[in-house]
Amino acid sequence: MHWRGLTSAVLILLFIVQSSGDPVVDNDHGRHATRPISEEDLDRMLETTTGSRQKRAPEARALTPSIVRTIYNIPGGDTAGSGQTVAIVVAFGASSAEADLEVYSTRFGLPSCTTANGCFKKVDQNGGNNIPRDDPTTPISSSWLGETNLDIQWVHATAPGANITLVCANSSSSSDLYPAVMTAASLADIVSLSWGGAESLQSNFERFLANASARGVSIFAATGDSGGPATYPATSPSVIAVGGTTTLTESDGIFSSESGWSGSSGGCSNFYTASEAQQASGSGTDPCGTRRAVPDISFNGDPTSGVPVYVDGSYVQFGGTSLATPIAAGRAAAVKAFTSDIRVIDSFYIYNNITLRDITSGSNQNYSAGGGFDLVTGRGVWTGDLDINTPNADENMKITHLMISETMQTKLPMSMVLNVVESTQETLSATTQTRATTSATATSMSSSALSLPAITFFSFSLFLLL
């Protein structure tokens, strides 16, 4: 067995053993379906895409893949994301997801993405082939299958050239979804999570998220669709929290404006500290202080300006931060594919190296959008990247980011693993929000001193390095 697969399995087993003290949380996909879409409606959408419709006043209307790629300035065209893999974590099995994706791709002129051509892969929460049963919830469009189809179809719509790995947890419980996230992070460098649960202190999973971020895995998580406090894991400082907007377009598909969507959850974490990058930027300090403030960025989420999704033999218009999140993950894949200069899209990148469309109107239950960072849409809508869109971008920023990224992803020799373990233990004991760091200083550690916690961290470090 490949070392990375072996250490992944060991890590998941140890996580299950260690996480007994953390609260078990049920998670909701929180996606909104507004209405069925007829074939006539689809034809009108495609007419909008080709620009053949008569221009009318801006309003919230359904968006097609080509319109979304245009209004969010997705680089790479029809092959956006080529060479990248996005892992999507969901609950239950979604037996028809691949076939539904093929129908969707054909309807909207997207490239085929199947197991046969190597684009699509489905695994269970441990990375194997024991795919769980489908969600029995009815109607199917309201089940986890609806969520799954939304996720994979809109990662594919945003980044048509990217590969997709679907990781299916046995249930919506954190005891199944969190190990599934760990598996996803071992299979791809970009992970999409369109679900969340009530925020709680998840010490062991936080350690994993911090280490995953440190080794170059970009994790995007939906903040929630209630318009109230954000859900976890979006409130983790080690993920990119994605909120939602309402998008207005003209009848020919031309972008008009965006505002904060009333369902975009956001606010200050009750448990977690802001990342170093967020604190350094000053984002969210009013009113959150040093607490984690969410969201970080936003994309279209309002169901009235939602998107078509094929599920259960027909099309339905979906929205929610469950839509915004796969768009964000797809954009990350497109950006990484477009230039070799970008190794990781993490909190540092989001707070230092992107250009945005500031959202200055709209509100959720507790906050209003305004100039700069806010607790409805975060920094705003991610529409550009300094490294690839601005030839004269600050070279010092680029060099610093590349050095950090390369350091985080370096595979150290086995002789240094014990040093990594020692450094990781010291760092994580100080704060569960601080990224684990590696020490280049050669030190020794007696094998007799390896207690169960040390063995656990050894497995963590070995997993991160292989």
Say if CB 79 and CB 160 are below 8 A apart: yes
Contact at 8 Å (CB) between 352 and 401?
A: yes
Beta-bridged to residue 260, according to DSSP, are 245, 362
Residue 387 falls in the annotated catalytic set: no
- Per the CB < 8 A criterion, the answer to whether 260 and 247 are in contact is no
Q: Which of 322, 347, 405, 459 is catalytic?
A: 322
Strands 163-169 and 85-91: parallel
Same domain flag for 393 and 439: no
Same domain, 98 and 159: yes
Q: How many CA atoms lie within 13 A of 418 on its CB side?
A: 10
The whole-angstrom separation of Cα 222 and Cα 195 is 6
Strand order across the beta sheet in which 314-319 lies: 32-37, 314-319, 307-311
Tally of structural domains, the chain: 2
Q: According to the model, what pLDDT value does residue 7 have?
A: 45
d(CA 304, CA 316): 12
In a domain, 15, yes or no: no
pTM of the model: 0.82
Contact 257, 358 (CB under 8 A): no
* Any domain includes 11: no
Give the integer Cα–Cα distance in Å for 297 and 385: 13
Instruction: Judge whether 367 lies within some domain.
Output: yes
How many other CB atoms are there within 10 angstroms of residue 418's CB atom?
20
Q: How do beta strands 291-294 and 354-357 pair?
A: unpaired
CATH number at 263 reads 3.40.50.200
Specify the 3-state DSSP secondary structure of 243.
strand
Do 358 and 447 lie in a common domain? Answer: no
Query: Comparing C-alpha atoms, which of 3, 6, 7 is closest to residue 459?
Result: 7
CB atoms within 10 A of CB 9: 18
Is 156 strand, coil or helix?
helix
Cβ proximity of 215 and 285 under 8 Å: no
pLDDT at position 50 is 56
Phi, psi of 448, rounded to the nearest 5 degrees: -70, -15
Residue 8 located in a structural domain = no
Q: Has 147 been annotated as catalytic?
A: yes
- Residues 353, 442 share a domain: no
Looking at the fold, whether 424 and 382 belong to one and the same domain comes out as no
Residue 148: Cβ within 10 Å count = 30
Give pLDDT, residue 454. Answer: 38
Does residue 5 belong to any structural domain of this protein?
no
pLDDT at 440: 36
Residue 416 shares a structural domain with residue 298: no
User: Do 349 and 416 share a structural domain?
Assistant: no
Q: Which two tokens stand for residue 349?
A: 């990148």
For residues 226 and 455, what is the distance between their CA atoms, to the nearest angstrom? 41
What pLDDT is recorded for position 138? 87
Contacts of residue 228, Cβ cutoff 8 Å, sequence gap at least 6: 265, 267, 364, 365, 366
127 is a domain residue: yes
Expressed as residue numbers, the domain containing 438 is 410-465
Co-location of 457 and 309 in the same domain: no
Task: Please report, in tens digits, the pLDDT of each residue of the chain (466 residues total).
Answer: 344 445 455 555 555 545 557 999 999 997 777 789 998 989 888 887 655 556 678 999 999 999 999 999 999 999 999 999 999 999 999 999 999 999 999 999 999 999 999 999 999 999 999 999 999 988 888 899 999 999 999 999 999 999 999 999 999 999 999 999 999 999 999 999 999 999 999 999 999 999 999 999 999 999 999 999 999 999 999 999 999 999 999 988 899 999 999 999 999 999 999 999 999 999 999 999 999 999 999 999 999 999 999 999 999 999 999 999 999 999 999 999 998 888 789 999 999 999 999 999 999 999 999 999 999 999 999 999 997 753 333 333 333 333 333 333 333 333 333 333 334 334 333 433 333 333 333 333 333 333 333 334 334 444 443 4
- 134 within a domain of the structure (yes/no): yes
* Per-residue model confidence (pLDDT) at position 415: 34
102 annotated active-site: no
* CA gap 446, 160 in Å, rounded: 51
Beta carbons of 155 and 164 less than 8 angstroms apart:
yes
Q: How far apart are the first and last CA of the chain?
A: 13
For residue 160, is it within any domain?
yes
Residues 284 and 349 in one domain: yes
Q: How far apart are CA 185 and CA 189, in angstroms?
A: 6
Residues 346, 417 share a domain: no
359 and 226 in a common domain = yes
As a whole number of angstroms, the distance between CA 457 and CA 207 comes to: 10
